[in-house]
Each structure stands twice: as C-alpha cells, then as structure tokens.
Amino acid sequence: MASGGVSSPTDKLEHLQFTPREIRAMVECADQAGTFVTAHAYTPKAIRHAINNGARGIEHGNFIDPDTAKLMVEKGVYLTPTLITYAEMASPNWEGYLPIESQTKNTEVLQAGLTALKIAAEAGVKMCYGTDLLGPLGAAQSKEFKLRASVLSPLRVLQSATINPAEMMGCADTLGQIQKGFKADILLLAANPLEDVTILDDPERSILAVMKEGRIYKSRWEGVEEDAEIPVRVKAAL
C-alpha cells in the first residue's frame, strides 16, 4: 500500500504510506527471496515514489499522467489496472457495500480509470490483467475485458492477460504464448477474441474447454474430452 486506498475510509487517495527507506527495504527483502515488489498507488506522486525506490509494478494507477507513464516505460515498470473493481462496487448490486467516505473515493477513481488506461497505452506502458475484487465480488472479474476494450484494441487487452504478466513474473520463456516448449495452458473459445475480446466477459458461453499443461480439465465441446480432474483441496466433513 504505497498510497491511500478506496476501501479505507480514514485516509486520502494521495497520501503516501511508506518512506523511501522502507520501500527500498521491502524491495531488498523481496529480491533476496527471489521475487519483486509491486505497489498499490493511484496518484503520479505515489507512483513515482514507488518506482523510484525499486517497485517493478504498479497496481491501479488511476490518476497517472503522461510524464509518469513515460517514466514507467523508461524503468520497465508494469501497470495493472483494476477498473472492474470500482465499476462493480458502484453498481446497484452492491449498494451500501462501502461506507460513504469510500463511496466518494470510489467515484473519483472510477471516473479517472479509462483516461488513465488511455494515457498508459499511448505512452507504451506494458499493462497486466489482475484483480482487486474480494469475496463475492470476484465473480465479476471477467467484466474487465469489456471495460478495457472501450479504450484498447483486442490485441492489447489479450496481451495484458497473457504475454505481459508472463514477462513481469519472469516466466516469458514458458508462459504467455502458444509455442513449442511452453506450458500448454490454453482456452478453447467459441469465437475469435481478436475480433471481439468482450466474448471473454461471458465465459459460460464463450469458453468451450480449459487446458492446463496439456490436460483438459473442463470441456463443453463434445469433440474434446476431459482427461484430468481438478484436485479436491477441502474434503467435506463427515
């Protein structure tokens, strides 16, 4: 949490929440553990504060400006927008879900979100596809595709969910593409997402089969048989 949040009613979105030394210490510890730091940040000041002290990624970034987006490109920092989070919390389905202080902040970031997406895209920032939905709101995650498609091309939206996060995670040699030697994590779709990426908003209709590491775990298509089962992690009580 490099800046204030929406769900926390007592801080402001522009507040910075760690000193430079604290962020650098986190980055150092993460590096020693073989991983990296990505930071929750909304404003240009918070974003710069995080990446100038070693963060590899920025979550949200709704108030990003062109100069900050350019800095992200120069430093190779990834952006993970979470637009569906604010849209869903503002929907009638979740009326009263947030206290009034958080509702006000949610409106601010929701209105700024698509503009931020456009600024980042024009600067060439590499974007990833992630989530900030908790509990029952998680079922709305696939609606993010339609939101992004109003600003980005289908190709860029798909790259944000495939090759870009693979690069960010340091797994670009095994994930994110359909190539020989890569892990065969593949969705079989009923239509071409490069023509209409919003088909992924409706997985019940658009996804015909789910393949993980070459095994079919779920199939609605009679031409493809399931040959694997999802492991049961929690056993029912007797």
CB 54 within 8 A of CB 20: no
CB 128 within 8 A of CB 61: no
| Tokens (6 digits) for 21 | 């030394």
Buried b (16+ CB within 10 A) or exposed e, 90-127: beeeeeebbeeebbebbeebbebbbebbebbbebebbb
**pLDDT of residue 44 exceeding 90:** yes
Please give the domain boundaries of the chain with CATH numbers for all domains: 20-173 (3.20.20.140), 184-238 (no CATH)
Q: The whole model's pTM is what?
A: 0.91
Q: What is the DSSP string of 30-83?
A: HHHTT---EEEE-SHHHHHHHHTTT-SEEEE-TT--HHHHHHHHHHT-EEE--H
| Residues 213-238 pLDDT 10s | 999 999 998 888 998 887 766 665 55
| Residues 180-211 pLDDT 10s | 999 999 999 999 999 999 999 999 999 999 99
